[in-house]
Amino acid sequence: MRTGVWLVGARGSVATTSIVGALALRAGLSGPTGCVTELPEVRGPALPAFADLVFGGHDVVATPLAKRAEALATAGVLPARLVAALPEELAEVERELRPAPITGSQADRAAAIGRDLTEFRERHGLARVVVVNVAATEPAPGPHPAHADPDALRAALSGPDEVLPPSSLYAYAAVTAGCPYVDFTPSTGLRLPALTALADTHRVPYAGHDGKTGETLLKSVLAPMFAMRHLAVRSWSGLNLLGGGDGATLADPAANAAKVRSKQRVLGETLGYLPQGDTRIEYVEALGDFKTAWDLVTFAGFLGTGMRLEFTWHGCDSALAAPLVLDLARLTAAAHAAGHTGPLADLAFFFKDPLDSTTGSLADQWTRLCAFARQLHGGGADAERG
Amino acid sequence: MRTGVWLVGARGSVATTSIVGALALRAGLSGPTGCVTELPEVRGPALPAFADLVFGGHDVVATPLAKRAEALATAGVLPARLVAALPEELAEVERELRPAPITGSQADRAAAIGRDLTEFRERHGLARVVVVNVAATEPAPGPHPAHADPDALRAALSGPDEVLPPSSLYAYAAVTAGCPYVDFTPSTGLRLPALTALADTHRVPYAGHDGKTGETLLKSVLAPMFAMRHLAVRSWSGLNLLGGGDGATLADPAANAAKVRSKQRVLGETLGYLPQGDTRIEYVEALGDFKTAWDLVTFAGFLGTGMRLEFTWHGCDSALAAPLVLDLARLTAAAHAAGHTGPLADLAFFFKDPLDSTTGSLADQWTRLCAFARQLHGGGADAERG
Amino acid sequence: MRTGVWLVGARGSVATTSIVGALALRAGLSGPTGCVTELPEVRGPALPAFADLVFGGHDVVATPLAKRAEALATAGVLPARLVAALPEELAEVERELRPAPITGSQADRAAAIGRDLTEFRERHGLARVVVVNVAATEPAPGPHPAHADPDALRAALSGPDEVLPPSSLYAYAAVTAGCPYVDFTPSTGLRLPALTALADTHRVPYAGHDGKTGETLLKSVLAPMFAMRHLAVRSWSGLNLLGGGDGATLADPAANAAKVRSKQRVLGETLGYLPQGDTRIEYVEALGDFKTAWDLVTFAGFLGTGMRLEFTWHGCDSALAAPLVLDLARLTAAAHAAGHTGPLADLAFFFKDPLDSTTGSLADQWTRLCAFARQLHGGGADAERG
Amino acid sequence: MRTGVWLVGARGSVATTSIVGALALRAGLSGPTGCVTELPEVRGPALPAFADLVFGGHDVVATPLAKRAEALATAGVLPARLVAALPEELAEVERELRPAPITGSQADRAAAIGRDLTEFRERHGLARVVVVNVAATEPAPGPHPAHADPDALRAALSGPDEVLPPSSLYAYAAVTAGCPYVDFTPSTGLRLPALTALADTHRVPYAGHDGKTGETLLKSVLAPMFAMRHLAVRSWSGLNLLGGGDGATLADPAANAAKVRSKQRVLGETLGYLPQGDTRIEYVEALGDFKTAWDLVTFAGFLGTGMRLEFTWHGCDSALAAPLVLDLARLTAAAHAAGHTGPLADLAFFFKDPLDSTTGSLADQWTRLCAFARQLHGGGADAERG
Ligand SMILES: NC(=O)c1ccc[n+]([C@@H]2O[C@H](COP(=O)([O-])OP(=O)(O)OC[C@H]3O[C@@H](n4cnc5c(N)ncnc54)[C@H](O)[C@@H]3O)[C@@H](O)[C@H]2O)c1
Ligand SMILES: NC(=O)c1ccc[n+]([C@@H]2O[C@H](COP(=O)([O-])OP(=O)(O)OC[C@H]3O[C@@H](n4cnc5c(N)ncnc54)[C@H](O)[C@@H]3O)[C@@H](O)[C@H]2O)c1
Ligand SMILES: NC(=O)c1ccc[n+]([C@@H]2O[C@H](COP(=O)([O-])OP(=O)(O)OC[C@H]3O[C@@H](n4cnc5c(N)ncnc54)[C@H](O)[C@@H]3O)[C@@H](O)[C@H]2O)c1
Ligand SMILES: NC(=O)c1ccc[n+]([C@@H]2O[C@H](COP(=O)([O-])OP(=O)(O)OC[C@H]3O[C@@H](n4cnc5c(N)ncnc54)[C@H](O)[C@@H]3O)[C@@H](O)[C@H]2O)c1
Ligand code: NA
Ligand code: NA
């Protein structure tokens, strides 16, 4: 079951790391550390093998993939030996990358994207193509009446307005072409009524939003800990210092706001109330592709006694994100194959700001993910539980 | 259903905080923060109310409870206003405290303990008395042939040897008197074949070991996080600095070793392997009743990229432990009332080094605890799940 | 040599802690921890004794001093026993506090302030009165032509405009009344050409700005360490979380900006360049009177190897500031007695944003302070050095 | 003025980094970050230029220098491009390395070392050879009567006993050959009465002990900060986790004890008292050549208010140590040239456990170092100060 993985933002850090990693895994040069779909509880016959994944994608820049990979190696994100060992494999993927369409109406551009997807699928005889958005985070768009309805949207796209932000235009093109869509970023993507309606019409599943790789991952286990122990969290303050391409984008206040919002949600959901304090993102170019997040949690115990937890997370965002991109592509492909449509709420485990999900607890999300995987692999939740 | 809570080490920090807290809750002077049995998922009709708990206990020192409580207030562990508001209630408990028997053979002392328990039960018309060991941590005892068998034990106790360490002598007296037994410390307690056999004979349930209140609590959510994300933990090193009475005891290398061992278990159980690094406990008198734990975790992500997490926990051990002591007394009493005997593995949630438990994950332990509570309250795991 | 200490913002946390502390020292109830003027290198006959200090001040609020002191005791800033032991002494100071004048032109208000100062001096037969601004931080004022010249200023003050921010109006009144002036805050205070000219005319010394008590104190020893070791600091990012009255004020963006600017200066001065990164102040009410500052420093060593230092400072701002307020009052009084006028650059040791100072290194500032103290005490820098 | 730098432990991490760095500086491939002797306050004509340094040394292992350098590059200690750019230069140094003599009596081995030094000096026409001990830390040796006196020592060395630990045998050989000696390690080295007497006889200067590169460096600025502010440090606890060759050696309890002792001294010297708490060193192989040190300082401010500072230092020990090795070689050579003999107490700036020094404050040590440098360069302390 050969499966296409089409990356929007294909020359970015996350995309490049995902591609190099998948090629390295396929070549037996590296192990599956960080890949959730290789854990015993999740892996199984329904998932396409790493060797069955074929990569392509769009980007607005033209930096050769191999050059980007070398830069990541110099920065300590990837082992240099892997990049050196995979020149032909990288060149092969390079040939599947396309410039992001930039001319014509949004309808024209959506059509061009759709053509790229269809040709990719046909060229390689793929069972399906999963589109994954790993492009730079966009500012939240203004409201537009055409966002509410598929027909109004179709009409408006042919006009002169920028009706949809780029992430949503890709989503539109993807679902229209029958491709499942994963939004790894906090951008709007499919989160407009017109688009989810379209996805339903085309019977494709989708997943999102915003890969959970650092501070929020920690919150999703620490906040439940406080809740399970009936400890009262008084304040939770965080500072995220990051330097890579994503950091530069997030220095833009509008993009920052979108990201920060998605980082806060987990506290309300797992604690049942919102403690004082904020989360901030700051760009510090000198930090390169590594991110440092510091959080201070103050809480009250029995009889009101004040206590504190503080943590520092020093993570490589791309190294954390890339295996999840592969996991999501595999799981979404399997869901599509199994006839799932609509929001894949069972994939909340992977996201900061999950679709249609009611729990922010990583452990609960994990339970749901495992059940979903069992079901995909034929065991089924019912079978196991019954 | 009036229930006795008999505290071994009744004048210590944890015991005093438990007593003051229960009295304050009963008087409506404080809320149930930190009490797991007051969470919606756990509370219910099977548990004795706080107002139904009657306290007594043994200690080797004679410091008046009220004086100990004032010292804890000065140290910031308790609000001074609570101690000031409860003089009569504290005096009432004071009258139920007994000196730890110190004369005669171990059989004599066990008998004296048993009499104290029985008289306590009868004096107050209690449905049952749960014995909770919150005495200072003991060094691990040497092996003794009488540890293997109830009859041999009974015989040996009348001889001149110190056959059992104090925690086990209390456990012996408790189960012989038909009292459920909870070991909140890392001491031996009931963990000898002769004693668990006796507990079975007397049809009492028991729980333990070693309340999980700080670094290990964090490990029980963080280690599963690394496992669920398939991240490879390379090293996990910790330093616990603590100053209270417990800290002074643990400065003794033998006691320290027992405690450290119980702190490491969770990593092996949740990760499936033991990373490099050690956990240390150090006594720093100036820290008083607050403990600072610092942990450094180094781990590898996708393609081997090295990353780090570090945390500092600044907790008040007694404020964290006391509500769990009340939780355990309530749950163990309800288990006894419901006819449970033997090890209560469903209470693993509360312990660093749980009896008969196979998971170190706090979330999994929580699931088990909630199911157990539902069952106690009459819903039953089957009812709920069926 | 009885000396007046007139506190602007006399009912605030810093002022109250300074007053309680001085009274406690005088009564022999507490030691001089935190008082730089009690170190062997600084103390001496030229300084007024703690017993010779008489307190008074202005505030815009009317909360009784004793009530404020009790609140600080509850918050853990002061020992409750001190407040309880000093009721009469506090009542005595209470009688010397005056409401901040709020009616009439700025000239009228300045005159009222001046009268309060003069009457205070005469009522107690004081050798002099040092005015110390510990009022809430103000936003930076807009420019005004009258700021440049004493005569223009005098004229403008009688008009309808708010020509001067409050801190500068106090400074104006102080120097006009012949009182030395210390600005412990980042507010404008004396930092206007018209005011420094007036100070010179009235031959009074002055000192400022902004007491150095936390993150900047650490920077003033850590940045020189990097410089002395020729290590290249690449980024220095900081987050200050604070909850007290000062925190609430600083939540106002304009006040925050003033404070942040004064916190950055030390890096440029000691390193010779400005590394990447920012310092932020955030108000988190739950933190109360304690402040947590976290800083991350990344730096390059030999051959460019990247390294990191991170620190967390958990300080009680008022407890850190109060002894410095007393130190500054004593030193400035002694300087006035010795005939010093103009900016006391030798007191840079105490300030984040020192007047006329060229070094940000705490050690260099210390050397200068010690020399100044020796000179005041009659030894003289010349004597020592010659 | 061509100057020899003879490294004992020449194939270790510190030595290799020093050599590669000096070669890179000479070739203009890298800048002098981390080199104190390149700061304006210290540099000057009296110091041999980097281009004038000629390297040689002893080691007990035979790993080629180039291979060691490559391993350090892989570990992130050195840029790989430097190692790749300097193959011939490294080969040239390789030819000057000698196996540590291991046969015969200690007198024979000392003679062999002496010959190696003399031949090195003559072969390259060197003005002098500075011997720097950067070999693995030794356990402290037992006492021996011959340690007290040069003649007794000479006699004993010809006997069968291991009279001297290796570091002291090198020191003996060095001074006997007229070579200045620097001990960068905590080992005994020259710290025996017989050896200092011999150094005086041969009129050579010497410096030591134990390069100050991490936790102690921070202590040497932070402890003075607390002292200058009259804050009372209650406890200072530290944990050093390190993985490199040095870490493995220090896992040996005896070596660990020597190192820990030298790390504590600074607190007593700068605070005037020893706070509670210990410093520990632990070997965690996974940390490789980077070290993480965590320190917790608790202190009291005005009126006894408790506060805390905690820091984490994540440093590359070899990258921190190597430039200091070069600094010490240059300064000691210049001191020898200027006729200095005996302990160079003015170099305390560089050491954890300095010879004959009375101050632990880095700032004071810096002042002394700058004065010494000025004097060497001909300005002279007197000239400057007079
Ligand atoms: N790395 C993580 O841990 C993580 C976690 C959650 C979310 N994300 C999100 O993943 C995204 C990618 O992160 P990154 O670090 O790779 O960023 P990056 O800046 O390295 O890469 C983004 C890529 O998107 C491309 N791009 C921008 N606009 C585009 C458009 N309209 N069409 C096509 N391509 C476009 C850019 O040219 C660039 O190559 C970001 O939105 C980030 O917020 C990352
Ligand atoms: N506080 C926590 O977070 C926590 C967590 C897990 C376990 N524990 C365990 O709880 C226990 C109590 O801790 P603490 O802080 O209250 O210590 P503590 O030293 O304040 O109190 C212990 C009490 O036990 C008494 N005692 C000692 N030997 C006794 C004996 N033979 N018979 C009866 N009484 C005896 C002592 O006199 C003292 O009053 C310790 O074993 C500790 O390891 C505490
Ligand atoms: N605490 C520290 O470590 C520290 C360090 C440096 C500077 N400071 C500065 O010291 C000042 C006081 O801090 P605090 O924590 O005591 O704050 P606070 O809010 O507790 O007290 C400020 C007081 O000033 C009064 N006030 C406000 N406007 C006034 C006016 N126009 N005239 C007279 N009184 C006025 C307020 O009513 C209040 O009582 C702040 O400006 C702060 O930035 C404090
Ligand atoms: N790196 C730092 O920041 C720092 C700071 C202070 C002190 N030091 C000291 O510097 C020394 C070297 O550290 P390193 O990290 O390079 O260690 P390392 O283990 O990498 O190197 C030590 C070298 O010494 C050699 N050696 C051992 N015994 C010897 C002997 N008898 N004769 C000759 N050579 C011998 C070893 O073979 C090895 O090559 C250690 O003693 C360490 O404590 C290092
Ligand atoms: Na920290
Ligand atoms: Na930290």
Ligand 4 pocket residue status of D4, Cβ below 6 Å? no
Tell me the ligand closest to D313's alpha carbon: 6
State the smallest CA–CA distance between residue C277 and chain A in angstroms.
6
Q: What is the DSSP letter of A282?
A: E
Q: Determine the pLDDT at residue D243.
A: 87
For residue A383, pLDDT beyond 60: no
Contact A280, A238 (CB under 8 A): yes
Task: List, for residues A268-305, the tens digit of each pLDDT value.
Answer: 999 999 999 999 889 999 998 899 999 999 999 999 99
- Residues 6 or more apart whose CB falls under 8 angstroms from that of B90 comprise B19, B20, B23, B65, B66, B69, B83
Contact A261, A285 (CB under 8 A): no
pTM: 0.95
Ligand 4 pocket residue status of D6, Cβ below 6 Å? no
Pairing of strands D306-316, C306-316: antiparallel
The alpha carbon of C136 and the centre of ligand 3 are apart by a number of angstroms equal to 3
Task: Identify the top-confidence range among B211-220, C371-380, D252-261.
Answer: B211-220
Task: List, for residues B332-365, the tens digit of each pLDDT value.
Answer: 999 999 999 999 999 999 999 999 877 899 999 9
Identify the band that residue A255 occupies on the pLDDT scale cut at 50, 70 and 90. Answer: low
Q: Name the residue at shortest CA distance from atom 36 of ligand 4.
A: D9
Identify the band that residue C385 occupies on the pLDDT scale cut at 50, 70 and 90. Answer: very low
As given in the structure block, the two tokens for residue C154 are 């005098």
User: D331-334 long-range contacts, Cβ below 8 Å, gap at least 24?
Assistant: D331/D37, D331/D47, D331/D207, D331/D372, D331/D373, D331/D376, D332/D130, D332/D180, D332/D182, D332/D205, D332/D206, D332/D207, D333/D1, D333/D3, D333/D47, D333/D48, D333/D127, D333/D128, D333/D130, D333/D180, D334/D46, D334/D47, D334/D48, D334/D376
Q: Is D237 left (phi over 0), alpha (psi -120 to 50) or beta?
A: beta
Assess whether the region A3-210+319-376 and the region A215-316 belong to the same CATH fold.
no
Identify the band that residue C359 occupies on the pLDDT scale cut at 50, 70 and 90. Answer: confident
Contact D207, D183 (CB under 8 A): yes
Q: Determine the pLDDT at residue C243.
A: 87
Q: Where are the domains of chain B?
A: 3-210+319-376, 215-316
Read off the pLDDT of each residue in D112-128 and give the average, rounded to a whole number: 98
Instruction: Name which of C30, C225, C366 is nearest D303 (Cβ-Cβ).
Output: C30
Q: Determine the pLDDT at residue C264.
A: 76
Nearest residue of A to residue B385 by CA position? A385
State the smallest CA–CA distance between residue B297 and chain D in angstroms.
10
Q: What is the DSSP letter of D44?
A: -
Q: Tokens 């989160």 correspond to what residue?
A: A191
Amino acid at the residue D149: D
**Per-position b or e across D318-340, b if 16+ CB within 10 A of its CB:** bbbbbbbbbbbbbbbbbbbbeeb
Instruction: Name which of D24, D301, D310 is nearest C320 (Cβ-Cβ).
Output: D301
Closest-CA residue to D197 (of D260, D247, D154): D154
D76 or D385, higher pLDDT: D76
Q: Which of D17, D20, D60, D287 to mutate to test the pocket of ligand 4 (most atoms within 8 A of CB)?
A: D60
Q: Using DSSP, state whether D87 is helix, strand or coil.
A: helix
What span, in angstroms and rounded, lies between the C-alpha atoms of A19 and A14?
9
Q: Determine the pLDDT at residue D249.
A: 73
> What CATH number does the domain located at B3-210+319-376 have?
3.40.50.720
What's the mean pLDDT when you consider all of chain B?
93
Read off the pLDDT of each residue in C114-137 and give the average, rounded to a whole number: 97
Identify the band that residue B375 occupies on the pLDDT scale cut at 50, 70 and 90. Answer: very high
Q: Using DSSP, state whether C103 is helix, strand or coil.
A: coil
Q: What residues of C are in the A interface, CB distance below 8 Å?
A: 234-235, 237, 239, 241, 275-278, 280, 282, 284-287, 292, 294, 296, 298, 310, 312
Q: Which fold has domain D215-316?
A: Dihydrodipicolinate Reductase; domain 2 (3.30.360)
Is residue D122 exposed (0-12), middle (13-18) or buried (19+ Cβ within 10 Å)? Answer: exposed
Contact C118, C177 (CB under 8 A): yes
Read off the pLDDT of each residue in D148-170 and give the average, rounded to a whole number: 96
Q: What percent of chain A has pLDDT over 90?
A: 87
As given in the structure block, the two tokens for residue C166 are 């409050």
Instruction: Using an 8 Å CB-CB cutoff, list chain A residues near B30.
Output: 303-304
Q: Determine the pLDDT at residue C379.
A: 67
Pairing of strands B306-316, B290-300: antiparallel
Q: Name the residue at shortest CA distance from atom 5 of ligand 2.
A: B211
What are residue A130's phi and psi, to 5 degrees?
Answer: -95, 125
Task: List, for residues B284-329, the tens digit of each pLDDT value.
Answer: 999 988 999 999 999 999 999 999 999 999 999 999 999 999 999 9
Q: Which stretches within C35-192 are classed as H helix?
A: 65-74, 80-85, 87-94, 106-123, 150-157, 166-176
Instruction: Using an 8 Å CB-CB cutoff, list chain A residues near B218.
Output: 222, 225, 309
How many C-D residue pairs are in contact by the CB < 8 A criterion?
179
Asked if A221 and B217 come within 8 Å (Cβ–Cβ), the reply is no
Q: Name the residue at shortest CA distance from atom 39 of ligand 2.
A: B12
What span, in angstroms and rounded, lies between the C-alpha atoms of D344 and C123?
61
Read off the pLDDT of each residue in B89-97 and give the average, rounded to a whole number: 98
Q: How many residues does chain A have?
A: 386
Q: Determine the pLDDT at residue B314.
A: 97
Radius of gyration of chain A (CA): 21
For residue A265, pLDDT beyond 80: yes
Q: Using DSSP, state whether D356 is helix, strand or coil.
A: coil
What span, in angstroms and rounded, lies between the C-alpha atoms of D131 and D125?
16
Instruction: Please spell the DSSP secondary structure of D183-217, one letter per residue.
Output: E-SSS-TT-SHHHHHHHHHTT-EEEES-B--SHHH
For residue A317, pLDDT beyond 90: yes
Instruction: Using an 8 Å CB-CB cutoff, list chain A residues near B76.
Output: 305
Q: What is the DSSP letter of C184?
A: -
ipTM: 0.95
As given in the structure block, the two tokens for residue B333 are 């009493």
What span, in angstroms and rounded, lies between the C-alpha atoms of D311 and C222?
12
Instruction: Name which of D239, D241, D277 is nearest B284 (Cβ-Cβ).
Output: D277
